[in-house]
Amino acid sequence: MIATEIEKKSIRQEIRELAKMKNALILAHYYQRPEIQEVADFVGDSLGLAKKAKETNHKIIVFAGVKFMAESAKILNPDKRVFLPDMAAGCSLADNCRPKEFGEFLKKYPDHVVVTYVNTSAEIKAMSDVICTSSNAEAIVRKIPSDKKIVFAPDANLGRYIIKQTGRDMVLWNGFCIVHEAFSVEKLINLMHEHPDAVLIAHPESEAHVLNMAAFVGSTKKMIDYVKQSEEQTFIVATEAGILLKMQEEAPGKTLIPAPANEDNSCHCSECAFMKVNTMEKVYNCLKNETPEIILDDQLIKDASVPLNRMFEWA
Ligand code: 13P
Ligand code: SF4
């Protein structure tokens, strides 16, 4: 074994031993680095991870994902201590929807039901009527009586996709995910010509022109399930490239091609820099030193838990 493999192995063992000793649950999103997904107790999409966090009896949750996900875990299970390996793990959607501006925006639509995507801060959740993830956004919107007006925030691409699916007229906050807006349509079309049998699948945070070309649109978990059950063999995957690890594990015989990004990088794919700030060393350190911890005001937890728990009641 070469030196780095030994180091990787020992840090993995040390993380697992510490997790056992401290009664900690390690959760990881599909976009995390492969070694982090491998050390985690559970890997999932936003909804699956929120469910795990809500139900767990572990004393500690180490959330290998981004800040809004770790905050949701704290809101859903406030008696647990929740750690995020690196507090710089933000999200372009959450970071560009701030309480002051959102409050002013909502004042223009006082009689609207406020449906907010989970990719938001705890403060924004507390200002909302119901939360959704990409997995249940359509079902949540369909639950709202047709005579009610709706504000949907902060992802305008997801919002437009849900409008198309449900026919509901919603007011959209103009936010977007920097990763899913980075696909190059020109390169994507070329790739589809190179692989005429490939099926394009996309995350609903992608722009409308990508979604319109896709044979399937769904959350990260739904994309994996689609590939797994499909009779097709080759897929072009329009979401963050970290998903390819679990997708390939779940569908070993299939050929998976990441959708190309505008900017060329080493993987010629889309990567979320926020997700990738977490490393094995940071997971180990946060478990060992019990920091950085998600600390939220009690009242904020109470206020944000109402729309977040409503999501589980409705869908
Ligand atoms: P999922 O809910 O599909 O995991 O998406 C989370 C996310 O941040 C996508 O960019
Ligand atoms: Fe946020 Fe986009 Fe990264 Fe998901 S991929 S965490 S939406 S910036």
pLDDT score recorded for residue 51:
98
**Cα-based distances in Å from 177 to 100, 110, 125, 157, 217:** 20, 27, 18, 9, 16
The ligand whose atoms approach the alpha carbon of 275 most closely is 2
With a 6 Å cutoff on the Cβ, whether 53 touches ligand 1 is: no
Query: Which of 119, 173, 269 gets mutated to test ligand 2 (max ligand atoms within 8 A of its CB)?
Result: 119
Q: Whole-angstrom Cα distance, residue 73 to residue 77?
A: 6
Contact 308, 125 (CB under 8 A): yes
| For the chain, domain boundaries | 5-89+275-295, 93-176+300-314, 185-258
Q: Which residues contact 235 (CB under 8 A, 6 or more apart)?
A: 198, 199, 200, 201, 227, 254, 255, 256, 257
Of the pLDDT bands very low, low, confident and very high (cuts 50, 70, 90), residue 218 is: very high
Greater confidence, 6 or 165?
165
Please write the tens of the pLDDT for every residue from 132-152.
999 999 999 999 999 999 999
What letter would DSSP give residue 304?
A: H
Of the pLDDT bands very low, low, confident and very high (cuts 50, 70, 90), residue 189 is: very high
Query: Which of 275, 276, 277, 278 gets mutated to test ligand 2 (max ligand atoms within 8 A of its CB)?
Result: 275
- Residue 16, pLDDT > 60, answer yes
- CATH number listed for the domain at residues 185-258: 3.40.50.10800
pLDDT score recorded for residue 7:
67
Please write the tens of the pLDDT for every residue from 31-49.
999 999 999 999 999 999 9
With a 6 Å cutoff on the Cβ, whether 240 touches ligand 2 is: yes
Q: Which residues contact 239 (CB under 8 A, 6 or more apart)?
A: 179, 180, 202, 203, 205, 206, 220, 223, 259, 270
Share of the chain above pLDDT 90, in %: 95
Q: Which residues contact 255 (CB under 8 A, 6 or more apart)?
A: 198, 233, 234, 235
pLDDT score recorded for residue 1:
55
287 CA distance to ligand 1 middle (Å): 24
Mean pLDDT of 255-283: 92
With a 6 Å cutoff on the Cβ, whether 202 touches ligand 2 is: no
271 CA distance to ligand 1 middle (Å): 13
Q: Whole-angstrom Cα distance, residue 24 to residue 311?
A: 26
Please write the tens of the pLDDT for every residue from 67-112.
999 999 999 999 999 999 999 999 999 999 999 999 999 999 999 9
Mean pLDDT of 159-178: 98
Of the pLDDT bands very low, low, confident and very high (cuts 50, 70, 90), residue 268 is: confident
pLDDT score recorded for residue 190:
96
Mean pLDDT of 155-172: 98
With a 6 Å cutoff on the Cβ, whether 238 touches ligand 2 is: no
Please write the tens of the pLDDT for every residue from 296-306.
999 999 999 99
The mean pLDDT value of the chain amounts to 96
Contact 32, 65 (CB under 8 A): yes
pLDDT score recorded for residue 249:
98
pLDDT score recorded for residue 3:
60
**Cα-based distances in Å from 74 to 54, 88, 253:** 9, 17, 38
Measured by CA distance, the residue closest to atom 3 of ligand 2 is 272
Measured by CA distance, the residue closest to atom 7 of ligand 2 is 177
Q: Please check whether the two domains, 5-89+275-295 and 185-258, share a CATH topology.
A: yes
95 CA distance to ligand 2 middle (Å): 10
Report the atom number in ligand 1 closest to the C-alpha of 47.
2
Mean pLDDT of 199-225: 98
> Among the CATH numbers 3.30.830.10, 3.40.50.150, 3.30.420.40, 3.40.50.10800, which is that of 5-89+275-295?
3.40.50.10800
**SS3 of 81, please?**
strand
pLDDT score recorded for residue 264:
78
Please write the tens of the pLDDT for every residue from 52-64.
999 999 999 999 9
Measured by CA distance, the residue closest to atom 6 of ligand 2 is 91
Domain 93-176+300-314 has CATH 3.40.50.10800: yes
Report the atom number in ligand 2 closest to the C-alpha of 177.
2
pLDDT score recorded for residue 266:
77
pLDDT score recorded for residue 265:
78
